[in-house]
Amino acid sequence: MSPRAGEGEAVIVGAEVVAGHDGSAELVVRLRHANGAEAPLVLDEEAGLRLMRNCGASHVDDLAGQSWRRILEGS
């Protein structure tokens, strides 16, 4: 499993599959930033599956605790 997020940087705290406007499944990732505030990030099917692969996750719940940097790997 990949390293978890470092101190003081944005971290994934949850993820959920949603319906995209074009009928595809998309991934809404919830990030907690260093200031404690949370915000959603919408990833399309390709980016969502890539994130799961980057994190070695086979379940969306496995994404919790991962660094925001994982989202950019391979993009």
Partner 1 sequence: MSLPGGETISASPALSRQRRFVTPGPDETVEALALRALPGQPVEAAVDAIRSWNLHIFAMRKPAGLLLGSDVVFVEPPLG
Partner 2 sequence: MFDVIVRGGLVVDGSGQPGFQGDVAVKDGRIAAVGRVEGEARQVVDAAGRVVAPGFIDPHTHFDVQLLWDGAARPALEHGVTCVVPGNCSLSLAPLKAADRPRVVGMFQQIEEMPPEAFTTAFDWTWEDFAGYRAAIEKALSINVAPLVGHSVIRLWVMGPAAQERAATPDEIAAMQDLLRQCLDAGAVGLSTSFVDIDENGRPVPSRFAQFEELDALAAVLGEYGRMLQCVPEFYATDITIARIDQFAELSLKHNIPTTFSPLFDTSAVPDNAPRAIARVEEQFARGARVWPQMQTRPIDISFSLLRPSLFFARLPRWVRVLRLPLEARLAALRDPDTVAKLVADTGPDGGEAMMGRLILRGGDAAPAELAGKTLSEIAKARGQVPAQALIDLSLEHGLDVAFLSASQGHQSTDRIGPMLAHPLVHIGASDGGAHIASFSTYGDTGYLFSEFVRKGRHLSLEQAVAKITGETADIWGLKDRGRLQPGLAADIVVFDAETIDREAELPTFDMPGDGMRYVRAARGIDTVLVNGEVAYANGAYTEARAGVVCV
**What does the binding site for partner 1 look like in residue numbers (CB under 8 A)?**
9-10, 31, 33-39, 41-44, 46-47, 68, 71-72, 75
Cα separation, 34 vs 32, in Å, equals 7
Residue 42 phi, psi dihedral angles, 5° rounding: -100, 120
Q: What is the closest distance, in whole angstroms, from the C-beta atom of residue 38 to partner 1 in the complex?
A: 7
Candidate list 1, 8, 21, 36; residue touching partner 2; CB under 8 A:
21
* Residue 10 interacting entry, from partner 1, partner 2, none, C-beta within 5 to 8 Å by type: partner 1
H-assigned helices in 1-75 = 45-54, 69-72
